């Protein structure tokens, strides 16, 4: 797994804090200086800059950035300044507590994060809001969609491949969906929520042999609404997390209008994790590069910063 954003080798938090302060001082803001610097530092280094900034100037760096910047560019820069777990926690909180539930955010974060990350998110959520994430999710969702989210929040996926269960799991999924009238969602939820990614990949192969369908095709046909979105995300992440994000980015930008919230969330949260892999998958799956699509779909400093997070063009 390779990110595009790496720690700066000759890092000096004080020098960086000075550059940022200068960029925001007086009339006008030097946005270019801000975005060039922050996209060339790791998240851990940005946290050090934030601490040093307060020590040197007695002010909060994020507050200052918010005061000077605006719009989507500001949202992206603030995302980059937030530690990864805290960023997920805030995203989930806003998804639950905002007007209506933003299922897309619940689906994306809970299907793609590792069990360790999910445990950290739950602990940080409790510390930040003195609330139980599972209770909050349950209060805002229902049915099998809720059940699968609860399973994912247990962060208890089995490890490795249970050779003896591959056929039985494929058979159970086949019986639950394609073979009967109506769908037994519970089998889908239990199996897809609890087996390891490598085990599920074997189950999907067995399912294909048995039914003649890809798992995703059956889910598309047999389920609907948020449950369908969550099941598809879980299946796609079991196959390949970078491919899942490549597809998420593509559909955030495809067609009229851009889903900037998704674009920002994915670019900010994956640039240090697997952005190179996402780019490779993107190039493989679609007729263009991630770089060219961002370039054609965004503008201004926002575009400049996103392209720096993307790294290069795979034309």
pLDDT tens for 204-216 read: 999 999 999 999 9
Q: Is residue 269 part of a domain?
A: yes
Q: Is residue 108 part of a domain?
A: yes
* Residue from 18, 105, 20, 116 nearest 67 by CA: 20
Q: Is residue 74 part of a domain?
A: no
Residue 229 has pLDDT above 70, yes or no: yes
Q: Which of 154, 171, 188 is the last residue of a domain?
A: 154
Give the model's pLDDT for residue 98.
Answer: 84
Mean pLDDT in residue range 288-296: 97
Q: Is residue 205 part of a domain?
A: yes
For residue 257, give the DSSP letter. Answer: S
What's the CATH code of the domain at 220? 1.10.220.10
Same domain as 167, residue 149: no
Residue 256 has pLDDT above 90, yes or no: no
Give the model's pLDDT for residue 177.
Answer: 85
Same domain as 167, residue 235: yes
Same domain as 189, residue 232: yes
Same domain as 218, residue 278: no
Residue 153 has pLDDT above 90, yes or no: yes
Same domain as 91, residue 40: no
Q: Is residue 125 part of a domain?
A: yes
What is the separation, in whole angstroms, between the first and last Cα of the chain?
Answer: 21
Domain that holds residue 205: 163-239
Domain count, the chain: 4
Average model confidence (pLDDT) across the chain: 96
Give the model's pLDDT for residue 47.
Answer: 98
Angstrom distance (rounded) from CA 186 to CA 194: 12
Q: Which of 215, 239, 263 is the last residue of a domain?
A: 239
CB–CB of 262/104 below 8 Å?
A: yes
Same domain as 245, residue 235: no
Query: What is the torsion angle, in degrees rounded to the nearest 10, for the CA atoms of residue 239, residue 272, residue 4 and residue 6?
Result: -150
Same domain as 170, residue 234: yes
Work out whether the CA dihedral 162, 163, 165, 168 comes out positive or negative. Answer: positive
Mean pLDDT in residue range 72-89: 98
Q: Which of 154, 172, 203 is the last residue of a domain?
A: 154
Same domain as 247, residue 305: yes
Residue 182 has pLDDT above 80, yes or no: no
Mean pLDDT in residue range 240-254: 98
Mean pLDDT in residue range 232-238: 98
Give the model's pLDDT for residue 181.
Answer: 65
Q: Is residue 222 part of a domain?
A: yes
What percent of the chain clears pLDDT 90, i.e. is strictly above it? 92
Tokens of 74: 């500001």
Same domain as 233, residue 185: yes
Same domain as 49, residue 20: yes
Total residue count of the chain as it appears in this document: 315
Q: Is residue 76 part of a domain?
A: no
Same domain as 119, residue 94: yes
């Amino acid at each position: 797994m390779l990110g595009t954003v790496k720690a700066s080798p000759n890092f000096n938090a004080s020098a960086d804090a000075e550059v940022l302060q200068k960029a925001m001082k007086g009339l006008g803001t030097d946005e270019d200086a801000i975005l060039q610097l922050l996209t060339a530092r790791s998240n851990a280094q940005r946290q050090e800059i934030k601490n040093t900034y307060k020590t040197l100037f007695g002010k909060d760096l994020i507050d200052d950035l918010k005061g000077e910047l605006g719009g989507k560019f500001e949202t992206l820069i603030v995302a980059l300044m937030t530690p990864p777990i805290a960023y997920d926690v805030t995203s989930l909180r806003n998804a639950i507590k905002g007007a209506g539930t933003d299922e897309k955010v619940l689906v994306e974060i809970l299907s793609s994060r590792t069990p360790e990350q999910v445990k950290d998110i739950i602990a940080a959520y409790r510390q930040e809001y003195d609330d139980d994430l599972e209770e909050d999710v349950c209060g805002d969702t229902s049915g099998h969609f809720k059940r699968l989210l609860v399973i994912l929040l247990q962060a208890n996926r089995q490890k490795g491949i249970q050779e003896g269960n591959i056929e039985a799991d494929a058979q159970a999924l086949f019986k639950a969906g394609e073979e009967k009238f109506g769908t037994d969602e519970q089998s889908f939820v239990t199996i897809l929520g609890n087996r390891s990614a490598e085990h599920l990949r074997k189950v999907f192969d067995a399912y294909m042999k048995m039914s003649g369908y890809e798992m995703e095709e059956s889910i598309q046909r047999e389920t609907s609404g948020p449950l369908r979105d969550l099941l598809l995300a879980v299946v796609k992440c079991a196959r390949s997390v970078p491919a899942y994000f490549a597809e998420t980015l593509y559909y955030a930008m495809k067609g009229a209008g851009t889903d900037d919230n998704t674009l920002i969330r994915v670019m900010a949260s994956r640039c240090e994790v697997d952005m190179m892999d996402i780019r490779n998958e993107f190039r493989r799956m679609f007729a263009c590069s991630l770089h060219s699509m961002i370039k054609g779909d965004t503008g201004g400093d926002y575009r400049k910063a996103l392209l720096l997070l993307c790294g290069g063009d795979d034309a």
